[in-house]
A and B are shown apart, each in its own frame.
Chain A
Amino acid sequence: MREIDASAITEAVRTMSMSANYDLGDDVVKAFERGLEQEESPTGKAVFKALLENSKIARNEKVPMCQDTGFAVVFVEIGQDVHVTGGAIREAVNAGVRKGYEEGYLRKSICDPFTRTNTKDNTPAVVFTEVVDGAGLKITFAPKGGGSENMARVTMLTPSGGKEAVADFIVNRCQEAGSNPCPPVIVGACIGGTPELAAMLAKKALIRPLGTKNPDPELAEMEDQLLARINNLGMGPQGLGGRIFALGVHLVKHPCHIATLPLAVNICCHASRHKETEL
């Protein structure tokens, strides 16, 4: 049994709270550069230029790329041969969020759903823990802003609708979302599972590096077709008109019940923030 002290989890989350909000991943920066080349709309080009400049300022000056530094969503993959000592995983994660958001001058955006009273330290984090083989511990920190979260949907389609109904729902969701989720966006979707699992897997699909091909050829083909359909809507960067509304479409599928066809869609703004640490 490998022992890992809970303080190591806290430290990793503290560090990633800041680095995720300051350092946009190279995959996204490269997608902006490609966007700047490919975008036909002058306004859209200006948006890509501004986003490239914004990401440079954030990285160099260690300030958040977006004022909405997000809900702290944390995926923990823990090997079954690991024993965490000195505290519970969830509390260790929350302690890291508390420290990181305070020390990093990050916005605290979490509140009571009815009174709207702010918890003032950006906790609780949303923690998904999965037990896996081995003696590793991987933490993925993926903060996400409220504007794009508001555009997420879960629907239960009729199985007879098949791929066509899935694709139509995703395209319509993008059209209805419009400029709200801060395009250029990444569209995550899970087909199948149960409604709650689909919602989680659609969020997790956003973490796949931009520009990588889906290992499932059927989904890879569907992603290409969806990306073309979504971008042909003409909404473009920031929804101001143009060629590139979405930088990528990330699909996952999961077996579902013979009576159901669940679909969850989660749209991510261009500030697609996620960092990983392996302990």
Chain B
Amino acid sequence: MSEVIRLTTPLTEEDVASLKAGDQVSLTGVLYTARDAAHKRLVALLDEGKELPFDAKGAVIYYVGPSPAKPGAVVGSAGPTTSYRMDAYSERMMEVGMKGMIGKGKRAGDVVDAMVKHKAVYFAAIGGAAALIARSIKKVDVIAYEDLGPEAVRRMEVEDFKVVVINDTNGADLYEQGQERYRKE
């Protein structure tokens, strides 16, 4: 495995341009959480010309709906959800400056093209390793859509949050590359 690349959010265009599919990345800083229900509302705000509840410039959005925090805990278990449900909204978020997405599973071709066009990347965290991932989350605040419960938009402060680059700004796809390497006829 390649050496881990350490990045701090918000991400710059240079940060993302240097990343290649397959790179192991450790993120520190702030992530914003949103699943499909929240994305629908965020994109509606943009369509109405209104402000988002967070600064999208350089933002990394984590597709997650955590389980409830136990007393004294910052967050419950918090692994990635499947990303294709956000495909319909992702280019709109890139247009306003979002630079990174964290989820699991393959993205649609037009989302991969949009990442090349708007210089953004798609990361995967380990799906189902939710209790382990929660350890790198240090502070959580609900900042919008509390009525959505687990699907509310949260501001998450993270340290050494481990991800791998799936799609880079050149249109490469780790899922395709990885399968190609290990396929047997």
Residues in B neighbouring A146, C-beta threshold 8 A: 81-82
Interface residues contributed by chain A, number (CB under 8 Å):
49
**B65: A residues at CB distance < 8 A:** 67-68, 107, 109
Q: What does the 1/0 interface line of A237-269 toward B look like (CB < 8 Å)?
A: 011111100000000000000000000000001
Which one of B69, B124, B129 has the highest number of Cβ atoms from chain A below 10 Å of its Cβ? B129
Q: Are B131 and A61 touching (Cβ within 8 A)?
A: yes
Q: Which positions 94-148 of chain A face chain B at CB distance < 8 Å?
A: 105-109, 116, 118, 120, 146-147
Does B90 count as interface, using CB distance less than 8 angstroms?
Answer: no
Residues of A within 8 A of B37 (CB): 116
A residues in contact with B132, CB < 8 Å = 50, 53-54, 57
The answer to whether A105 and B68 touch across the interface, beta carbons within 8 angstroms, is yes
Q: What residues of A have a CB within 8 angstroms of the CB of B53 in the complex?
A: none
Residue pair B105, A178 in contact (C-beta under 8 Å): yes
Cα–Cα distance between A270 and B129 once the two chains are bound (Å): 10
9 tightest A-B contacts by CB?
A: A241-B178, A234-B182, A234-B183, A182-B127, A180-B105, A232-B184, A107-B67, A54-B132, A57-B131
Contact of A238 with B124 in the complex, beta carbons under 8 Å: yes
- Expressed in whole angstroms, the minimum distance between the Cβ of B149 and any Cβ of chain A is 5
Bound-state CA distance A46–B130 (Å) is 15
Q: Does B175 contact A (CB under 8 A)?
A: yes
Q: Is A58 an interface residue (CB 8 A)?
A: yes
Given known A50-B126, A180-B105, A240-B178, contact A64–B67 (CB-CB < 8 A): yes
B1 & A43 in contact (Cβ 8 Å cutoff): yes
B155 within 8 A of A: no
Q: Once the chains are docked, how many angstroms separate the CA of A238 from the CA of B127?
A: 7
Chain A to chain B contacts (Cβ below 8 Å), 29 pairs: A43-B1, A46-B1, A50-B129, A51-B128, A54-B132, A58-B77, A63-B76, A64-B76, A67-B67, A67-B130, A68-B81, A68-B130, A105-B68, A105-B76, A107-B67, A107-B150, A118-B148, A179-B105, A180-B82, A235-B175, A235-B179, A235-B182, A238-B126, A239-B175, A241-B174, A241-B175, A241-B180, A241-B182, A242-B182
CB distance from B16 to the nearest CB of A (A): 20
Does A41 reach chain B (CB closer than 8 Å)? yes
Q: Mark A40-64, 1 if CB is under 8 A from B, else 0.
A: 1111001100110110011001011
Contact A180 B150 (CB under 8 A): no
Contact in complex: B128, A64 (CB < 8 Å): no
Chain B residues with Cβ below 8 Å from A67 are 64-67, 76-79, 130, 150
The reply to whether B67 and A239 form a contact with Cβ atoms under 8 Å apart is no
Task: List, in ascending order, chain A residues with CB within 8 A of B20's CB.
Answer: none
Asked if B185 and A64 make an inter-chain contact with CB atoms under 8 angstroms apart, the answer reads no
Residues of chain B contacted by A147 (CB below 8 angstroms): 81-82, 104-105, 127
How far does the Cβ of A117 sit from chain B's closest Cβ, in whole Å?
9
Asked whether B179 lies within 8 Å of A108 as measured between CB atoms, the reply is: no
With A232-B183, A235-B179, A241-B182: A178-B106 Cβ-Cβ less than 8 Å: yes
Residues of B with C-beta under 8 A to A58: 77, 131
Interface string of B108-146 (1 = CB under 8 A from A): 000000000000000010111111101100000000000
Please measure, in the bound complex, the distance between the C-alpha atom of A105 and the C-alpha atom of B81, giving whole angstroms.
19
Which A-chain residue is minimally distant from B175 (CB atoms)?
A239
Question: In the complex, A51 Cα to B70 Cα: how many Å?
Answer: 22
18 additional contacts (CB under 8 A) given A64-B67, A241-B177: A41-B182, A42-B1, A43-B178, A51-B128, A53-B129, A57-B131, A57-B135, A63-B134, A66-B130, A68-B79, A68-B81, A179-B124, A180-B82, A232-B183, A234-B183, A235-B175, A240-B175, A241-B174
Q: For window 164-185 of chain B, which residues contact chain A by CB distance below 8 Å?
A: 164, 174-175, 177-185
Q: Which of B73, B76, B84, B134 contacts A107 (CB 8 A)?
A: B76
Question: A269–B82 Cα gap in the complex (Å)?
Answer: 12
Q: Which residues of A contact B185 (CB under 8 A)?
A: 232
- Which chain A residue lies CB-closest to B81? A147
CB distance from B176 to the nearest CB of A (A): 9
The residue among B127, B132, B164, B184 with the most chain A CB atoms within 10 A of its own CB is: B127
**B129 contact set on A, CB distance < 8 A:** 50-51, 53-54
